[in-house]
Amino acid sequence: MTRFSLKKLLGRGGKAAPTIPSDLNITIRRQHRRSLMMRPIPGGFEVYIPRWMRPDNPTVTTFIAKSLDKFGNQAPPIPPTLTTREEITAMVNHWAAQMGLQPKRISFRDMTRKWGSCSSRDNITLSTRLTWVEPHLAEYVVVHELVHLRVFNHGKDFKDMMSQYMPDWKTREQTLHAIRF
Ligand SMILES: [Zn+2]
C-alpha cells in the first residue's frame, strides 16, 4: 500500500482546493477499489483512492474538501500515550530473552489495520498505535509476534506456546480486538 501525505503533495506544488486546512494530517492511500473514501483517524484523516488514480488528481482534492465539510473540518483527537515505545521495546527484549529468541530488528510503523507483524526474516514490526493501549495489551502483541518467530500460523502449536508464556492471552486478545481508533 502506497501512502501519500497531502501536505507533501501540496509542498510539491500540487493544486489543492483552498478550503482544505493545511494543519490537518491527511494521508492518501491507493487501494484496489473503485470509489473514493475518507475516514477520520486520530489526529487526521485517511483517504482511499483507486490504484489508477494519481493522488494529486483534482478529483481527489475536491473529494477531500467535500468530505471535510461533512466532518466539520475536525479530526478526532489523538489518544493519550498509555505505553511508551521505550516500554514496548523493553518488553520485546524481556520476552525475547524469556523465550530464547533473538529478533533481528524491531521497528514501529503507523499501521492502522494490524497491531503488529513479523517477517520470515525475524523482523518484528509494531504499530505506533500500541502506545495508545495499556501496557498489558501491548505486551500481548509483543508475545504474539515473538511466538510467530517460532510458529507462523495461529494453529494449536501457536496457542499452546501463547498459553505457556501468557496464560491469560485470550482475555487480552479479546480486549484488544474491541479497541478501535
Ligand atoms: Zn498473528
What's the gap in Å between 11 CA and the centre of ligand 1?
A: 38
Say if CB 74 and CB 124 are below 8 A apart: no
DSSP per-residue string spanning 116-142:
EEE-TTSEEEEEGGGGGS-HHHHHHHH
Q: Which ranges constitute the DSSP H helices of the chain?
A: 6-11, 58-70, 85-99, 135-148, 156-165, 169-177
How many helices (H) and strands (E) are present in the chain, helices listed first? 6, 7
Distance 145 CA to ligand 1 centre (A): 6
Contact present, 38 and 55 (Cβ < 8 Å): no
Any idea which fold 85-177 has?
Zincin-like (3.30.2010)
Per domain, the residue ranges of the chain are: 3-70, 85-177
Q: pLDDT 10s per residue in the chain (181 long)? A: 567 777 666 655 555 545 677 778 899 999 999 999 999 999 899 999 999 999 999 999 999 999 999 999 889 999 999 999 999 999 999 999 999 999 999 999 988 889 999 887 889 999 999 999 999 999 999 999 999 999 999 999 999 999 999 999 999 999 999 998 8
Q: How far is the CA of 144 from the centre of ligand 1 (A)?
A: 6
Q: Are 6 and 45 in contact (CB under 8 A)?
A: no
The alpha carbon of 118 and the centre of ligand 1 are apart by a number of angstroms equal to 8
Q: What's the 45 CA to ligand 1 centre distance in angstroms? A: 27
